[in-house]
Copies of this chain bind each other. A is one copy, B any other.
C-alpha cells in the first residue's frame, strides 16, 4: 500500500473540504483526484466512480489500505488511527457530544437538505429560499449551542475540533444562499478565527488543483 493517501474530491464540495482540513491537521500526505460534479453530466455518476463510491458522492478517501466514504466517519477514523497528532475531539464525553452535535447538525441537518439533488427537485424558482431556510434554521440551533457551551476561541474550547471543520465550509455555503450572518455573531466570530489558520487556508476551495482559474486565489 502507498503511503500517500488519495482523496477523490471536488474543490467546492463542502464534505471534501472538511476532509482536506482534517488531513492537514493529521499531517497526512495526500493527493487529490478530481471528480467534477457538473461536467460530463456529473462525473460522480460514472461507472468508474460508482465502483469506488456507490452513493455517487464525494469525497472518497483511500488510506491505510482502506477505501472510505462519508466525511464524519472518515474524520473519526483519522482521529482514532492518529490520536497523537492534533486531537480533533476533546477528552471529556460531555464535550465530545457537543462537538459531534454541532458537526451532525451541519452534516445531516443542513447539508443534505441544501444539496444539489434536493435543490434540483425543489425547482429553480424556490431553490434559493429553500437553501437559505435550511441553513438559517440549522444556524439558529448552532448559535444557541455555541452561546450555551462555547467559552473558548473555537466551537468547543481553544482547540480545533470536527465541529469547527464542518462549520467553515457551511458558512461559505451560507453566503451563497445569502444567509444574514449578522444574526449569528458567535458563528461569524469563530469562522473568522478559523479562516486564519494555515490548515484551513490550505484546504480552501479557492486553492485546490481543480479550482477553475477564475475562482483561484492568487
- Chain A interface residues (CB < 8 Å from chain B): 53-57, 64, 66, 68-70, 72-74, 76-77, 80-81, 93-94, 96-97, 100-101, 103-105, 107-109, 111-113, 115, 117-118, 121-122, 126, 130, 137-138, 140-141, 144
**Beta-carbon contact of B144 and A105 below 8 Å:** no
Other A-B pairs beyond A54-B140, A69-B101, A113-B115, 6, CB < 8 Å = A55-B137, A66-B94, A73-B104, A74-B97, A104-B108, A112-B112
9 contacts between A and B (CB under 8 A): A54-B137, A55-B105, A68-B97, A69-B101, A72-B100, A77-B97, A80-B96, A81-B93, A113-B118
Among B66, B97, B100, B109, contact of A55 (Cβ-Cβ < 8 Å): B109
Among B56, B108, B126, contact of A70 (Cβ-Cβ < 8 Å): B108
A175 shortest CB reach to chain B, Å = 21
Q: Which residues of B contact A97 (CB under 8 A)?
A: 66, 68, 73-74, 76-77, 80
In the complex, what distance in Å separates the CA atom of A138 from the CA atom of B70? Answer: 12
**Beta-carbon contact of B122 and A70 below 8 Å:** no
Q: Which residues of B contact A137 (CB under 8 A)?
A: 54-56
Select the residue from A66, A97, A101, A130 with max chain B CB neighbours within 10 A.
Answer: A97
